[in-house]
């Protein structure tokens, strides 16, 4: 097996990465940079996003697994004290994986004839640098609303626990084939109205956004930001590619959600441990 390591530069992560690399090499697991079978992310969810975009042109051939050293590990299944167990799983690897939908973003810049394509693991957002953003929102080929506000966010099911959730979006199970549109501080009064609610878009539908003013817009795709480009049109739909995570053990999605945002079960377990 050939694996690639992607990690952040914190002291803890650097120590874990060095130890993990040594353990892999001692088991004849090859560490490579180009065309790996598996990408191991060491850090937090931000590090895994970086790993995803580094290898986004190889999504049909590569799987991802994360070792958690950050503050929130929604994508990172493994803890730093489980390195030996992970190496054993790598040695016994049979290609097991679970796959989730991605977001296809097509942008028509004013100074280019062809669309530019991006892929997002979590979400893509559009905001105005200053003032109110005004744009027409279409679902498929039908005008749905004229939006006025700070911005719009379109997320994947796996991204629904991130920025979209902070905007009041629903948490969507990652096996759901859908994308979600959420609003940022929409303007609603007697003159201007928007839905002012998250929208779940089916897999055979798409969203088109036409900004009324093409300049001073900020486009973000996951952790990547694109500024100072005049945007005529954006089209969002479920991508033909999917992201594949190595599946060595199963963690129920709603257990992840509960652990990340509520933590009652963890507290209950700790209290029971004290009682014992």
Confidence of residue 114 (pLDDT cuts 50, 70, 90): very high
**pLDDT score of 14 more than 70:** yes
Domain that holds residue 153: 101-241
* Residues 66 and 122 placed together within one structural domain of the fold: no
**pLDDT score of 162 more than 70:** yes
**pLDDT score of 273 more than 50:** no
CA atoms within 13 A on the CB side of 76: 27
For the segment 3-21, the average pLDDT, to the nearest whole number, is 96
Number of domains in the chain: 2
The interaxial angle of helices 253-261 and 264-275, nearest 10 deg, is 80
For the segment 75-111, what is each residue's pLDDT rounded down to a tens digit? 888 999 999 999 999 999 999 999 999 999 999 999 9
In the chain, at which residue ranges do the beta strands (DSSP E only) sit? 2-7, 30-31, 38-43, 63-68, 78-79, 97-109, 116-120, 123-128, 133-139, 142-149, 151-155, 178-184, 199-202, 207-211, 217-221, 224-226, 231-246
Which residues fall in the annotated binding site for NAD(+)? 45-46, 122-123, 148, 150, 185
* Residues 197 and 65 placed together within one structural domain of the fold: no
* Residues 149 and 199 placed together within one structural domain of the fold: yes
For the segment 200-237, what is each residue's pLDDT rounded down to a tens digit? 999 999 999 999 988 889 999 999 999 888 999 999 99
* Residues 119 and 204 placed together within one structural domain of the fold: yes
Single out the catalytic residue among 28, 34, 37, 45: 45
pTM over 0.85? The answer is yes
Which domain CATH number covers 155? 2.60.200.30
For residue 263, what pLDDT is reported?
Answer: 82
For residue 89, what pLDDT is reported?
Answer: 95
For the segment 131-140, the average pLDDT, to the nearest whole number, is 95
Percent of residues, the chain, with pLDDT higher than 90: 79
The interaxial angle of helices 11-26 and 83-91, nearest 10 deg, is 40
How far is the C-alpha of 92 from the C-alpha of 248, rounded, in Å? 9
Q: Is 45 a catalytic residue?
A: yes
Percent of residues, the chain, with pLDDT higher than 70: 95
200 assigned to some structural domain: yes
* Residues 83 and 196 placed together within one structural domain of the fold: no
270 assigned to some structural domain: no
For the segment 147-159, what is each residue's pLDDT rounded down to a tens digit? 999 999 999 999 9
For residue 270, what pLDDT is reported?
Answer: 55
* Residues 193 and 149 placed together within one structural domain of the fold: yes
Which residues fall in the annotated binding site? 45-46, 122-123, 148, 150, 185
Which domain CATH number covers 12? 3.40.50.10330
55 assigned to some structural domain: yes
* Residues 174 and 233 placed together within one structural domain of the fold: yes
* Residues 114 and 191 placed together within one structural domain of the fold: yes
Strands 199-202 and 178-184: antiparallel
* Residues 133 and 217 placed together within one structural domain of the fold: yes
233 assigned to some structural domain: yes
Structure tokens at 198: 């998250």
276 assigned to some structural domain: no
186 assigned to some structural domain: yes
* Residues 141 and 195 placed together within one structural domain of the fold: yes
User: Mean pLDDT across the chain, nearest whole number?
Assistant: 92
For residue 76, what pLDDT is reported?
Answer: 80
Give the chain's largest Cα–Cα span. 69
* Residues 123 and 180 placed together within one structural domain of the fold: yes
**pLDDT score of 72 more than 90:** no
Confidence of residue 3 (pLDDT cuts 50, 70, 90): very high
229 assigned to some structural domain: yes
For the segment 162-184, the average pLDDT, to the nearest whole number, is 96
For residue 266, what pLDDT is reported?
Answer: 61
* Residues 184 and 123 placed together within one structural domain of the fold: yes
When mean pLDDT is compared across 10-19, 70-79, 172-181, the lowest value belongs to 70-79
How far is the C-alpha of 274 from the C-alpha of 21, rounded, in Å? 37
Confidence of residue 271 (pLDDT cuts 50, 70, 90): low
Q: Which residues sit opposite 86 in a β-bridge? A: none
């Amino acid at each position: 097996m050939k694996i690639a390591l992607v990690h952040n530069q914190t002291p803890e992560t650097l120590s874990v990465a060095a130890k993990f690399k040594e353990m892999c090499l001692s088991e004849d697991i090859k560490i490579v940079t180009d065309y790996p079978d598996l990408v191991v992310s060491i850090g937090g969810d931000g590090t895994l996003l970086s790993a995803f975009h580094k290898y986004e042109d190889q999504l049909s051939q590569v799987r991802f697994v994360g070792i958690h050293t950050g503050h929130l590990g929604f994508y990172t299944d493994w803890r730093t004290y489980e390195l030996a167990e992970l190496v054993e799983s790598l040695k016994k690897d049979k290609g097991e994986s679970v796959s989730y939908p991605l977001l296809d973003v097509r942008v028509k810049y004013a100074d280019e004839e062809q669309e530019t394509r991006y892929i997002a693991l979590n979400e893509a957002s559009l905001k105005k640098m200053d003032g109110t953003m005004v744009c027409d929102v279409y679902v498929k080929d039908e005008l749905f609303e004229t939006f006025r506000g700070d911005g719009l966010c379109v997320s994947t099911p796996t991204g629904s626990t991130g920025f979209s959730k902070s905007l009041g979006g629903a948490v969507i199970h990652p096996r759901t084939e859908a994308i979600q549109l959420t609003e940022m501080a929409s303007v609603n009064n007697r003159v201007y109205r928007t839905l002012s609610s998250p929208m779940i878009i089916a897999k055979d539908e798409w969203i088109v956004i036409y900004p009324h003013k093409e300049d001073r817009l900020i486009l973000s795709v996951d952790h990547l930001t694109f500024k100072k480009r005049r945007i005529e049109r954006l089209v969002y739909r479920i991508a033909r590619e999917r992201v594949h995570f190595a599946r060595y053990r199963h963690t129920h999605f709603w257990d992840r959600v509960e652990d990340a945002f509520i933590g009652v079960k963890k507290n209950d377990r700790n209290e029971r441990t004290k009682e014992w």
